[in-house]
Amino acid sequence: MTVSPAWHVRVEHEGAVTASGFLVGPGSVLTCAHVVHGIDHAMVSFPGAPGLAPVPARVTARGGWAGSPTDPGDVAVLSLDRPARVAPAVFAVLEQPLDRPPPRLVSYGFPEGYAEEGVQSELRPTSHQLIMNEWNQLEFWKGYGQEPSHGFSGSAAMLADSGAVVGMVSSYDPVGRSGRMIPSQVIARHLPALADLVPTPGYPAEEKRWLRELVSRMGATSSSVDRLLRAAAGTLGVDPPADSPAGLWQGVWYLLTETRPEPGRLPLAELTVRLADMTADRDLRHELRSWSREHRARNAHTSAPVAAPPRRADPPAPLPWAPILVELRRSGADRHLVNAEVSAYRDGSRLLVGAGRFGTGDVRPWVLDRIDEAFDELDGGRPLIAFSLPRDWLNRPVEQWTRSKAKEPPLGCSVPVVVMDHERRSKGRLRFQLKRMWEELDRQEGSALHRIGCGSTHRAPQLSVLLQEVHGPVGFTRPPRAGRDRELHGAALNAPAPIVLWPRTGCPPGGPCAGGCAGAAVLDQLATLISRLPPVELPELVFELRRAAFVHQGTTPHWAAELSLVWDDPRRFPEVRPLNRSPVG
C-alpha cells in the first residue's frame, strides 16, 4: 500500500528548520515539546503537498516536559492559523512488537542536507515494554540508508504497511543506534484531546469524547486518584498503575487503555458513579450517571435462556426479584461517619449506583436519592431493596425511612424491604451454607415457622447448632436489644438461618414472660399466614403487612407494626467477579 506523506510537516522558527511534526486535525499539528521549547510561534510547511503555502502556528498545549531528557510529557500541539486542506494522520496502537518479522516503522524527518524535502528512516520497536512508563525503545535496523538524527524529533512513527501512526519519535542516539518513541496511548495521556483519535478497543470514540469532556469539568477532586481507582476498579481485579497518576484524566485513561469492558466488569462505570457523588454540580452529576448508564447498557449481555410461557391452565408465576442493595458500614475514621454504597443487580451483575461517606444525619436522604436512581438500572422483575447492615444495626427501622413523614409514605410501603447481616455476607463458609439452605427451601411449598420464645434456655452456641437443622424461617418474640437477646439473634445468623423475623414491639428485655407474651402473639399471626407460602415469597407478604399496618386506623397499633425481616439469599446478590485479565498489554 502506498501511503501519502502529505500530513508530515516541517516545523520552522525564524527561517531555520527546527524539527518535524504531523497533522492530527484540520488545524492541529503534534510535535515534541523540546522542539518548541522557549518559543510560542512557529511556521509549519507540508513538503508532501507542495501546493500548500507555509502556515503560521502557535503553541497551544504542552505535555508538562520540564527540560530534562528524562522528563515525561515531551509533547506539544501547534494550532494553525488556518485549516490545512490535507487529511490528518490516523492513529493505531502498537500491539505486537515482537512478531516475526517485527513490524517495520517509518519516520519522516528533516536532518541536515534534507531540510527542504525531508527523508525517511526505517525503525523497529525493541519491545512492548515502556521505559519509565513513557517510551518505547526504537532501533535503526536496516543497516544502510538514512539513520535518524537531529531533525527527526516530532516525526510520526508509522506502520510501514498501513501508514497508521503508533507513536512519535522523541530522541535518537547514533552511538548506541537506539532511540525513543512516545507511543500513541502515552501521547493521549498527556494531551487528553488526542484520546478521541487513539484506538481503545471496547470504547468507541464518541463515548471517550463524552467522558473526556465530563472529566475536564470535574476539576480537582478531594480524593486522590489512586484511592478512587482502588475503590472503583480494585474489586474488579484491576491493579492501580505502578506510578501514581498525575491527575484524574490520567487515571481515567489508564482504565481506558488497560481494561476491556465486559458484562458485569465495567470499571469506568464504577468510577463515573463515584465521581458523580463527588461533584456539587447537579448537571454534571446527572451527565456522569447518564454516561455510566449508557456504557453499561452498551455492554449488557443476557445469557439466561428465555423461559417458556406458562400453560394457560396454570396461574402466572411470580416475577423474579430485581434486587437493589444498600450497604451501610461504620467508616472506621469517625464513629459518626457511615460508608454507604447503593447498587442494582441486573443479569447477575452488580451495577454501582452511588458510594460515599456521610454523617449519620445525612446518610438517609442520600440513600433514598440513590435508590430512586437505582430503579433506572433495573430491567424487569419485582424490585426488592436489601439493607446490608452491621449486626448490631439489624433492629433499626430502615423500612420506615422517608424524606418527609408528612409528605410521602415510608420506603417499606412502596417496595419490599429486607435486611441482611453484613458480617455474614463477608464469610465464605456461611454464604456456602446459605446457598445449600436455599436449595432445600426452593423445594418447599410452605414456610413452617421455628420459634425462639422468651423462655429459651439455650446458650448461643447450642442454639446455633440446633438451628442448622431448621430449614425455614426463625421467629423471635424479642428484638435484639439486650445482651442475651443479641446473643441469641447472633446464634440464628451464625447457624446460618436464611430467614429471621421478629417484632420490634415484642417483649421487653428480661426473663420469661409472666403471661400474654406480645411477641408470641405476633408470631402466632405470622405462622398462620406463611404456612402455605414459599420462603421466596416472604418479602412480598411482609410488604403487604407493612402497608396494612401503615393505613391501620384502630385505637391500637396493627399487630404487624414494627416487623423486621432478615431475608438473605446469596444467589440474588452475587459477589463481584474480578476481571480475567489486567492490564491487557
What does the pLDDT average to over 432-442? Answer: 93
Q: Give the type of residue at 95.
A: E
Element containing residue 366 per DSSP (H, E): helix 363-374
Rounded distance, CA 121 to CA 105, Å?
8
pLDDT of amino acid 317: 64
CA 6 to chain centre: 42
Surface-to-core class of residue 546, CB atoms within 10 Å of its CB (0-12 exposed, 13-18 middle, 19+ buried): buried
What does the pLDDT average to over 130-159? Answer: 79
What does the pLDDT average to over 413-429? Answer: 93
Whether the predicted pLDDT of 391 surpasses 90? yes
pLDDT of amino acid 148: 64
Structure confidence at residue 505 as a pLDDT band (50, 70, 90): confident
Neighbours of 261 (CB within 10 A): 20
Q: Give the type of residue at 456.
A: S
Q: Are 390 and 423 in contact (CB under 8 A)?
A: yes
Mean pLDDT of the chain: 85
User: pLDDT: is 300 or 196 the higher one?
Assistant: 196
Q: Give the type of residue at 417.
A: V
**Assign residue 492 a region: left if phi > 0, alpha if psi is -120 to 50, beta otherwise?**
alpha
Whether the predicted pLDDT of 311 surpasses 50? no
Rounded distance, CA 479 to CA 226, Å?
43
Whether the predicted pLDDT of 143 surpasses 80? no
Question: Which residues lie below 8 Å from residue 14, measured CB to CB, with a gap of 6+?
Answer: none
Per residue in 355-368, pLDDT (tens digit) is 888 888 899 999 99
pLDDT of amino acid 313: 47
Q: Are 377 and 351 in contact (CB under 8 A)?
A: yes
pLDDT of amino acid 305: 42
Whether the predicted pLDDT of 174 surpasses 80? no
Name the residue among 492, 468, 465, 466 with its Cα closest to residue 478. Answer: 492
Q: Are strands 136-139 and 119-125 parallel, antiparallel or unpaired?
A: antiparallel
Residue 394, beta-bridge partner list? none
Whether the predicted pLDDT of 494 surpasses 90? yes
pLDDT of amino acid 578: 45
Rounded distance, CA 221 to CA 57, Å?
34
Whether the predicted pLDDT of 580 surpasses 60? no
Q: At what angle do helices 205-218 and 282-298 cross, to 10 degrees?
A: 150
Whether the predicted pLDDT of 501 surpasses 80? yes
Whether the predicted pLDDT of 526 surpasses 80? yes
What does the pLDDT average to over 415-439? Answer: 93
Measured distance between the N- and C-terminal CA atoms of the chain, rounded to whole angstroms: 28
Q: Are 498 and 537 in contact (CB under 8 A)?
A: no
DSSP string, 144-156: SSPPP-TT-TT-E
Q: Are strands 474-476 and 499-503 parallel, antiparallel or unpaired?
A: parallel
Name the residue among 335, 281, 343 with its Cα closest to residue 576. Answer: 343
Rounded distance, CA 113 to CA 115, Å?
6
What does the pLDDT average to over 527-543? Answer: 93
pLDDT of amino acid 111: 82
Structure confidence at residue 479 as a pLDDT band (50, 70, 90): very high
Q: Are 39 and 56 in contact (CB under 8 A)?
A: no
Rounded distance, CA 562 to CA 313, Å?
39
Structure confidence at residue 384 as a pLDDT band (50, 70, 90): very high
Structure confidence at residue 22 as a pLDDT band (50, 70, 90): very high
Residue 337, beta-bridge partner list? 359
Q: Are strands 382-389 and 417-421 parallel, antiparallel or unpaired?
A: parallel
Question: Which range is least confidently modeled, 180-184, 233-237, 492-496?
Answer: 233-237
Name the residue among 414, 417, 392, 391 with its Cα closest to residue 403. Answer: 414
Rounded distance, CA 505 to CA 544, Å?
18
Question: Which range is least confidently modeled, 6-15, 97-106, 400-409?
Answer: 97-106
pLDDT of amino acid 347: 78
Structure confidence at residue 176 as a pLDDT band (50, 70, 90): low
Q: Are 547 and 413 in contact (CB under 8 A)?
A: yes
pLDDT of amino acid 514: 60
Q: Are 33 and 65 in contact (CB under 8 A)?
A: yes
pLDDT of amino acid 519: 87
Rounded distance, CA 461 to CA 340, Å?
32
Question: Which residues lie below 8 Å from residue 79, measured CB to CB, with a gap of 6+?
Answer: 27, 28, 57, 58, 59, 60
Question: Which range is least confidently modeled, 171-185, 305-319, 437-451?
Answer: 305-319
Per residue in 197-237, pLDDT (tens digit) is 998 888 988 999 999 999 999 876 656 788 888 877 776 77
Angle at alpha carbon of residue 38, lines to 37 and 42, rounded to 5°:
80
pLDDT of amino acid 175: 62
Whether the predicted pLDDT of 534 surpasses 70? yes
Whether the predicted pLDDT of 101 surpasses 90? no
pLDDT of amino acid 225: 83
Q: Are 536 and 525 in contact (CB under 8 A)?
A: no
| 111-115, 201-205, 367-371, range with greatest mean pLDDT | 367-371
Structure confidence at residue 306 as a pLDDT band (50, 70, 90): very low
